[in-house]
A and B are shown apart, each in its own frame.
Chain A
């Protein structure tokens, strides 16, 4: 079931994504364009469409899809025995 949830980690919101093939990715929940909440966008393939102005962001590396330019921060994620592990360092 693809989609996203928001993980609140102190001041930072992390968008946790699941794709149609059950891959899991995590990005800073701020679009590089104008800070829109990526977690609220539609997920398709390995991308999400930002709900504010429809920029497409690659989930794997946070890069905006050309010709748009910009990058959302990436958080490492791993799956072990059906559990999702998210790496987050408190600043």
Chain B
């Protein structure tokens, strides 16, 4: 099949990212040619500031060098500005006469720096700050001249000023507005920033308008303000804003307003012509930060590949910046309206200022100086429009984001030296992460995980890794939105989309679901198959068939795989109670099969480690005890304390309650493991406070707590309801678990689920609405009715081939 021709005008980060995404999903669809006006291949424009400051070299900021284009069969025309698009003949013409025909045209012409229309703007020594040529001009000037003036106190201007100061110049920043970076900071934050910068020797002149650039023999010598005063300047940097570069598009008759107008599919009014990046106006907005541009690139690629499903719906941006060593964070509406709520934490001695704007129990914006570690967390809640009513009173103190272990109690990556270990599971130090981000041009958490393994195992250190990432790539970092993240690389659909489709369209198998939802891969991947298996079984418990090949080994073999390929066996002990007969059988099995290690578990039962896979069915048979499901995303255990049966203090029979809970709900499958506990009095010896469902007996009944977690992220369970009888405990616990089963994402613990939907929602569904609670409970019992003990099934011979090797 003859390939279509794709021509791209522009060779910057947004355009090249589109090509990269396209090559990932449709590598052979196009014959590609690229025209770049600059003489360089694709480089990381954001890192021009470290180059100016002398911290990095030009070579280090290249994202795709000339070889990359050659390796991917892309014809690269460097230093050639395209001057005409002939839409009728479908060809573009460059200023030197070169031509290319196109089937699809991608405009990625970026923006032009705005030049103040004052006399003298064309003198030598007046530069903008946009590309490599500008940066080299500034470096060269810093070697010759003394006084630099930067017009524009926005992000770019401050970075230019910082770089020039580090190169030894005397730098003054001139700004029209009453405070710096007024688009990202409020007055208080800006003044803190200004003070820190002044301490580094930068000078500021605010609320002054530049009137003329004065020169001598064609070279700049001073800047004159409206009002007549002058300050000396041998270098003037104009950093007063950028404008989308629409010249070419306009000349071709394409509709433009502030930028080249595109739809949600990144198409201009000519459907063969797409546009991405800073040159674009989408739903009235233009973007100057990299993260939204990468989102556009992804969507544009899916349309160039003719998949036809992606939509770009605009971006909420956050800016997390490291301006000369000062951490800043800004997102959304940080000023607020008259009826918005403001929460402010201001510690001027420590240089910390945090402000969040809340409307209708949702974060709509925020600004932070000095302590920005929680920026990613706030931003994620903002993007997901998460209800924060539950956590309002400790919002400002942050850190729901970090796991508790594996990183020596560090919460602020900035405070850690490079040699310090950030990821305890994989042994990755801070310096390695920074190096990988810079050397490999990484921009997202997923990329850092893939390339360094940091945060890719238990994810306890994710918050720290995000801080490091944001600090290294600045405005290009965008934490992934929880609400819109696709299930996996096989689809654009979210978990919620898929669950709904399975319910609405009666999809009862994985292949049926993949076909209906147009999965991009023939048999999914290791992420989506187990999730889909759970969803179809959960929605259609009697009709869907389990697919063992879509379960992780533990759930397929019904035992826990160990590092040497052997397995462990954990028989169930309801409520943590055993008997002499059971213990004797366990001891006999250990002797008979020579099991190397016998260990007591935290769940109040016994673990037999080192059993070979072939022995499993025989071990289960000889044990003659129910499966403990220690390997499953199911109910694990119900821990108990002794309670009123024996204990001096027990006011309720916690042991029996625990046994009843475990007898009722064992064999239940869930999005992740579920752990419960019952204590017989408020001393809480069964540790109910860190369980998915934790029950505490009190004199007048039982208190039920939910969504606790004892592991990676220790989280205290929240009080849900107090009830009188054991039956009510079963009904409330069951209803909560069923709500979790039906609505959480696969791999969410109850803590993640409740964080997302809010405890109020849970209470409404389970506590306040009695009819709904009973219905939820009945649905759970219905699903459990047909569940069999997997060990018993396999003792009878089911799935025999799973445990048999083929011997030669």
Binding site for B on A (CB under 8 A): 1-3, 5-10, 13, 16, 19-21, 34-37, 40-45, 49, 51-54, 56, 67, 88
Contact = CB atoms under 8 A, between A and B. Distances in A.
Given A42-B530, A52-B561, A5 B806 contact: yes
B728 to A, nearest CB: 41
Nearest to B526: A49
A13 B524 CA distance: 27
Contacts of A10: 808
Given A49-B526, A67-B450, A67-B451, A42 B806 contact: no
A7 B805 contact: yes
B536 to A, nearest CB: 16
B513 to A, nearest CB: 15
A3 B529 CA distance: 13
Nearest to A43: B549
Nearest to A9: B808
Interface stretch (B5-13, B201-209, B210-218, B550-558): B550-558
B523 interface: yes
Given A51-B561, A52-B563, A88-B808, A44 B526 contact: yes
Contacts of B529: 42, 44
Nearest to B557: A40
B602 interface: no
A1 B451 contact: no
B525 A6 contact: no
B614 to A, nearest CB: 10
Contacts of B551: 42
A84 to B, nearest CB: 10
Given A7-B806, A52-B563, A20 B557 contact: no
B417 interface: no
B565 interface: yes
A53 to B, nearest CB: 7
B409 interface: no
Contacts of B522: 20-21, 45
B801 interface: yes
Given A36-B565, A42-B529, A45-B525, A3 B549 contact: yes
Interface in B511-534: 521-526, 529-530
A64 to B, nearest CB: 12
Interface of B: 450-451, 457, 521-526, 529-530, 549-554, 556-557, 561, 563-565, 801, 805-808
A27 to B, nearest CB: 15
A85 B530 CA distance: 31
A44 B523 contact: yes
Contacts of A45: 521-523, 525
Residue from B523, B530, B554 whose CB has the most chain A CB atoms within 10 Å: B523
B452 to A, nearest CB: 9
A8 B549 CA distance: 21
Given A8-B806, A9-B808, A45-B525, A37 B565 contact: yes
A51 B450 contact: no
B528 to A, nearest CB: 9
A31 to B, nearest CB: 10
B423 to A, nearest CB: 13
Contacts of B525: 44-45, 49
A61 to B, nearest CB: 19
A20 B529 CA distance: 13
A66 to B, nearest CB: 9
A15 to B, nearest CB: 11
Contacts of B801: 5
A46 to B, nearest CB: 10
Contacts of A34: 563
Nearest to A30: B565
Contacts of A49: 525-526
Contacts of A43: 523, 549
B552 A42 contact: yes
